């Protein structure tokens, strides 16, 4: 495995952000899972997982195929609610809330497989995301609040560095550009926490660098949880890591601790070969 260089940068950025933004903006927990379990029949795909993501924290979930990472995301978003355990979002218990209520509270996700409107342009995809968040449903109506939505769309285009292909049909985009657009869609409506499910899957080295730059450019107050197989990416952009194995939490620690952990190496790296 190649050397992972700036391991300390995410933590350093985070504490700098704390210093600059003050405690009122970044205090408290964004997400708190207590004993979260999701069973499918006899299979406990997620088994008694407890973890805390601080406000503004960038967090990674690692684990081999079938470890339960996506199922954990599904439990957090309500797509497949937990069969046991509690989920708090900024201090509020959201365990029983339907997915759209969680979105309204500032929770977003991206999916392992693309959910873009392939026949529409990049700009229109982002516009729909902005309007969808604004109105609780997707709408092309540009009359009420249209100007603000157009401006928000332009902001997202710039943030995801997709302005030069704004009017291109999504179907014509490179894979990496599509994944960048998915992140742009998740950023609509100023979310407080985003769950990214393997955003680097299938990306070229150059596209991975773009992705790292994008993840690093996200605002200090915005938390994210990243599922990522590529340690080069995961350990470079987060402050804290949890490794899952067979539905359970195997280790939680800083990127440095996780990288140096013998059991993680044996189980995670071993199973990746
Ligand atoms: N809807 C479902 N019904 C039944 N079993 C499921 C369902 N979703 C996931 N599982 C099972 O739960 C386990 C965990 O799956 P999950 O998709 O969460 O793993 P993962 O860590 O995201 O893996 P990958 O790295 O391959 O994406 C697997 O054994 C999977 O087959
Ligand atoms: Mg998965």
Residue 173 vs residues 19, 205, 223: alpha-carbon distances, Å: 40, 17, 28
For residue 28, what pLDDT is reported? 87
What fold does the segment set 10-106+192-268 form as a domain? Rossmann fold (3.40.50)
| Predicted confidence (pLDDT) per residue in 82-133, tens digit | 999 999 999 999 999 999 999 999 999 998 777 799 999 999 999 999 988 6
Residues 6+ positions from 180 with CB-CB distance below 8 Å: 160, 161, 162, 210, 211, 214
> What are the residue boundaries of the structural domains of the chain, listed by start?
10-106+192-268, 119-184
Strand partners, 169: 121
CA nearest ligand 1 atom 8, residue = 71
DSSP annotation of 15 reads: H
Residue whose CA is closest, atom 25 of ligand 1? 65
Q: How far is CA 207 from CA 134, 176, 200, in A?
A: 30, 6, 8
Q: What's the pTM?
A: 0.86
pLDDT of residue 38: 98
Ligand 1 pocket test target in 66, 72, 111, 199 with most atoms within 8 Å of CB: 66
Name the residue among 215, 261, 220, 207 with its Cα closest to residue 236.
Answer: 215
Beta bridge partners of 241: 60, 253
The closest-lying atom of ligand 1 relative to the alpha carbon of residue 247 is 14
Determine the distance separating the centroid of ligand 1 and the alpha carbon of 273, expressed in angstroms: 20
What is the mean pLDDT for each group of 10 consecutive residues in the chain (273 residues)? 38 41 60 98 97 97 94 97 97 95 93 85 94 58 67 94 96 93 91 95 91 93 94 90 95 93 76 47
- Cα 214 to middle of ligand 1, angstroms: 28
What pLDDT, on a 0 to 100 scale, did the predictor assign at position 135?
54
CA dihedral sign, ordered 145, 148, 150, 155: negative
The pLDDT value recorded for residue 7 is 40
């Amino acid at each position: 495995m190649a050397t992972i260089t700036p391991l300390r940068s995410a933590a350093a950025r985070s504490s700098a952000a704390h210093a600059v933004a003050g405690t009122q903006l970044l205090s408290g927990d964004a997400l708190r899972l207590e004993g979260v379990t999701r069973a499918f029949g006899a299979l406990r795909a997620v088994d008694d997982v407890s973890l805390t993501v601080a406000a503004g924290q960038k967090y990674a979930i690692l684990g081999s195929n079938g470890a339960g990472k996506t199922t954990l995301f599904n439990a957090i978003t309500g797509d497949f609610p937990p069969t046991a355990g509690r989920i708090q979002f900024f201090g509020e218990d959201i365990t029983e809330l339907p997915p759209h209520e969680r979105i309204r509270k500032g929770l977003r996700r991206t999916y392992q497989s693309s959910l873009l409107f392939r026949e529409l342009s990049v700009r229109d995809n982002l516009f729909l995301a902005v309007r969808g968040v604004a109105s609780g449903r997707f709408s092309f109506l540009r009359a009420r609040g249209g100007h603000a939505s157009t401006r928000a769309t332009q902001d997202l285009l710039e943030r995801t560095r997709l302005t030069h292909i704004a009017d291109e049909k999504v179907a014509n985009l490179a894979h990496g550009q599509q994944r960048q657009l998915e992140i742009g869609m998740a950023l609509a409506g100023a979310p407080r926490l985003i769950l990214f499910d393997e955003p680097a899957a299938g990306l070229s080295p150059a596209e991975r660098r773009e992705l790292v730059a994008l993840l690093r450019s996200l605002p200090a107050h915005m938390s994210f949880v990243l599922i990522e197989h590529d340690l080069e990416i995961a350990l470079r952009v987060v402050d804290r890591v949890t490794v899952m194995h067979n539905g359970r939490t195997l280790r939680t620690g800083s990127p440095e601790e996780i990288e140096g952990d013998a059991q993680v190496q044996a189980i995670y790296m071993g199973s990746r070969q």
